Amino acid sequence: MRGLTCIAVGTLLAGSLLPEALTQAPVEAPPAFSPGTMTLVTNGLVDQATFDADRAVFEEQEGRAEGLGPVYNAQSCAECHQNPVTGGISQVTELRAGHFDGINFIDHVGGSLINDRAINPAFQERVLGGNEVRTFRTSLNTLGDGFVEAIDSNTLVAISNGQPFGMRGQFIQVPVNEANNAVRGGRFGWKNQHASLKSFSADAYLNEMGITSPLQPNDNTSNGTVVDDGIPDPENLGDVDLFAEFMRATGVPPRDLVLAATADAQAGSVLFSQVGCTTCHVRNITTAPAGTVINQGALTVSAALGNKVIHPFGDFLLHDVGTGDGIVQNGGQSTRNKVRTAPLWGMRSRGRLMHDGETVNRNESILRHAGEATSVINNYRSLSTGQKNQLILFLNSL
């Protein structure tokens, strides 16, 4: 299928651009932490003191007084994004469910997300009968996501158009809440359901912690039933802003440079390209120039984030690789069996793999790919055991 759906390339222009930005040369994005100290440092978007204060809010446990619930999955952002440092990944999963009628996916009553926790047993959600589509979703890394947000949508379209026919990732446009729901190229979440870190933060605050904000003002229901915890939520847009600012100010997941320098890991890197993995797990992407207006006018790319080269080993597009979870979110029915290519940066910190976390072995996770990735996996199968081990060693350096 074609990478572009329901849009015209001419509609994707990022926005206004300051003339001086055009002369800036790209440089490498900084790492989020030093492997020696494991201390998170700002990428320069804000000073270190502000960054540390933002991190503290990201780590803060919320209670009922702060609006927690009535149904929720976690009490803080860091509960799901913490390994090996705040903002990273974790083993935490969420549950989604719904029904496929043979033509369309239909949300479980109350929405596909089934919250696992509640402030009152009477509010507990559960999967109701008739919802045979069920999947877990693993928590995602957020380190370096400010650079991902700063990627021009045209860059993602170009990546899709450059992929072989039959492997072209699907580019979708999704609402930016803080821009009156004007649309932009999606890039966050397993279904690319968000384009903005502020929208992502408001969504997670509501759907993972049950806390409303002006961007997401309505409490979640319990299996479709409105429930009242008796405590009005505070106006939480300030926290949403700080969550987004923290993520935007993080550096990228650093590699294991010692392992990466070994002959076997370097040979594995070559094999990773030769078998075709880099078709979707793209090595190098450059962010938009500083001064570019993004998020439909709601944000201007800063000097700290603009013109930076990142190595996400992902294309931020949707693909059907035979592991689709059957869930539809912002992308429409064509995305039902597609998931976003998992960026592999920071993979050495992850033990549970794929969108559902149900594969725990690198070789098995590779072999689980099918669909659009069939030819690549056939190439991988043809490698010798030693070559496969080299490729996996390379992955373990990311």
- Domain range spanning residue 330? 9-395
* Residue 3 domain-assigned (yes or no): no
Count of structural domains, the chain: 1
* Residue 4 domain-assigned (yes or no): no
Give residue 241's identity as a one-letter amino acid code: D
Q: From the centroid of its chain, how far is CA 313?
A: 13
* Residue 130 domain-assigned (yes or no): yes
Beta-ladder partners of 159: none
Average pLDDT per 10 consecutive residues for the chain, totaling 398 residues? 33 45 81 94 98 98 93 97 96 97 98 97 97 97 98 98 97 98 98 98 97 93 90 82 98 97 98 98 98 98 98 98 96 97 97 96 98 98 98 98
Question: What pLDDT, on the 0 to 100 scale, is given for residue 9?
Answer: 34
Question: What pLDDT, on the 0 to 100 scale, is given for residue 11?
Answer: 35
* Residue 138 domain-assigned (yes or no): yes
Give CA–CA dist 285/310, Å, rounded: 5
Q: In the block, which residue shows the tokens 């572009």? A: 4
Question: What pLDDT, on the 0 to 100 scale, is given for residue 266?
Answer: 98
- One-character DSSP codes across 6-33: S--GGG-------GGGGGPPPEEPPBSB
Question: What pLDDT, on the 0 to 100 scale, is given for residue 228?
Answer: 81
SS3 content of the chain, % helix, strand, coil (to 5): 30, 15, 50
Question: What pLDDT, on the 0 to 100 scale, is given for residue 22?
Answer: 55
- One-character DSSP codes across 311-359: --S--S-EE--S------STT-GGGTT-EEPPP-TTGGG-SSBSTTS-B
What separation, in Å, do the N-terminal and C-terminal C-alpha atoms of the chain show? 30
pTM for the structure as a whole = 0.94
Q: Which helix (H) or strand (E) holds 50?
A: helix 48-59
| Residue among 47, 70, 66 nearest 57 (CA) | 66
Contact (Cβ atoms closer than 8 angstroms) between residue 133 and residue 336: no
* Residue 1 domain-assigned (yes or no): no
Q: How far is CA 79 from CA 24, 85, 87, 89, 255, in A?
A: 38, 11, 10, 10, 23
Give residue 379's identity as a one-letter amino acid code: N
- One-character DSSP codes across 256-314: -HHHHTSHHHHHHHHHHHHTTGGGTS-S-EEPPPTT-EEGGGTEE--TTTTTEEE--S-
* Residue 350 domain-assigned (yes or no): yes
Tokens linked to 24: 């800036």
| Residue among 187, 245, 243, 201 nearest 43 (CA) | 245
